[in-house]
Every structure is written in C-alpha cells, then in structure tokens.
C-alpha cells in the first residue's frame, strides 16, 4: 500500500487504535480483535515488549490491516519498524529528523505537535498528518477548532484523552481522525481476553465518528 492509500485509509476510517499493552501476546490479541470488529488500522506503540516483532507478525497475518508504529522516538527505531513492514510512523512529539527520514523512505509520518510553532514546523518539514497530543488537557475539541482557524490546510489527528464522550466533538471540530488507546482497548478486556467487550467499543467509536462526520458535512 503506497503512501496516498495509507493516508486515505486513515482519513476514511477516522480512528487509529493505539495498542499499548504489557506483553506481545496481549498486543496481538488486541490488534486482531480490533481488526475483526471492523477497524482496519492498528498502531503498535514502541512501549509494547517486542513491538517490532509484533508489527512484523501482524503484517504477515493480517494483510488487509494497515499496521503502523507508534511512540517512535528516533530514526533507528523508525527504520526497524519500516523493515518490519509498518506503513506509517507516529511520535508523541516533533522530531524533524524522523520526519525527514520518513519522507526519504516515502512512508506516511505523523509527528506529535501541540503549539502553533510546532504545527508550523511540522508543516514546513513535510509531515503528512499532525497528531495534536495531548488534546484533552489543553482544551480538548476547542483547541482543535482553534488550531484549524490559522491552519485550515493542516490535517489534524486528535489524540490523548479521547473517549466516547469526546470523540464526536473532536471530529466536528475538524480532526480528520482520532487516536484512541485504553478507551477502545481496556487493559482488563485484553488481560481477560474479552473480545466482545473490545468489539462493542470499536462499534461505538465507529458509529460516533460516522455520525459526527454526517453532522459536520451538514453544517
């Protein structure tokens, strides 16, 4: 899948499930469950033990799912993730060296940014999408709306504190997608292998995004 198609998949789906578990087996279970529930994207964070191997196994076993790498903090780790088959790379902060590396490799990169200065720097560096992180502590959807005013050309992904109560608000504020972690993939549900619990949450988030988008278009 080339970069334009990766971006289209993310924007069409509108949800990036972030898998942050305490074991590789838990991560695989979470990713497979979310995929079966109908969300064809998963981000494996580098805090997962053996994260790069998890990415490689998911790329092999779930060819229809867009697998990305999250919480990538340096170019060397980004390189290992791409070698494992990751189709996009995200980070919690703005690392211009990593953005340049991803552009050279023709892979979608989504750096984290919070301030207008960081958003501007990410744009000039050529970031495909900008992950506004953490959203919730800094004004939530109102902050996304405030950023969209001076940056109408930027594609923002809202992450950090997104839940069922706020998901639709972020979409209506102009976020092209939301990044969701524990609120979509609860630790207890993973540990107890309660796939139905995760699947129900996935369906709820997908419905929230769709409804919010319908209203956003209507407005």
pLDDT at 215: 74
Superfamily for the 3-218 domain: Aldolase class I (3.20.20.70)
Q: Please, how many CA atoms are within 13 Å of residue 204, restricted to the half-sphere of its CB?
A: 15
Average pLDDT over residues 52-76: 97
Angle at 92 between CA 116 and CA 41, to 5 degrees: 110
> Is a pLDDT exceeding 60 seen at residue 218?
no
Given a cut of 70, whether residue 114 has pLDDT beyond it is: yes
How do the domains of the chain map onto residue ranges? 3-218
Give the mean model confidence (pLDDT) for residues 9-32. Answer: 97
Establish whether the linkage from the previous residue to 134 is cis, with ω within 30° of 0: yes
- pTM for the whole thing? 0.94
- Encoded tokens for 167: 């998901």
């Amino acid at each position: 899948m080339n970069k334009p198609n990766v971006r289209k998949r993310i924007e069409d789906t509108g949800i990036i499930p972030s898998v942050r578990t305490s074991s590789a087996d838990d991560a695989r279970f979470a990713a497979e469950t979310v995929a079966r529930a109908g969300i064809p994207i998963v981000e494996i964070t580098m805090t997962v033990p053996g994260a790069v191997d998890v990415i490689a196994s998911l790329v092999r076993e779930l060819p229809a799912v867009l697998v990305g790498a999250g919480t990538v903090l340096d170019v060397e780790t980004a390189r290992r993730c791409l070698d494992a088959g990751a189709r996009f790379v995200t980070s919690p902060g703005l690392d211009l060296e990593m953005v340049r590396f991803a552009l050279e490799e023709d892979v979608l990169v989504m750096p984290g940014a919070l301030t207008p200065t960081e958003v501007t720097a990410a744009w000039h560096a050529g970031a495909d999408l900008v992950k506004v992180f953490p959203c919730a502590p800094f004004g939530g959807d109102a902050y996304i709306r405030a950023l969209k005013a001076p940056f109408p050309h930027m594609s923002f992904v809202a992450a950090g504190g997104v839940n069922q109560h706020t998901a639709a608000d972020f979409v209506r504020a102009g976020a092209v997608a939301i990044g969701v972690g524990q609120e979509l993939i609860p630790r207890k549900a993973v540990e107890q292998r309660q796939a139905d619990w995760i699947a129900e949450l996935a369906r709820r988030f997908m419905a929230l995004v769709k409804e919010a988008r319908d209203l956003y278009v209507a407005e």
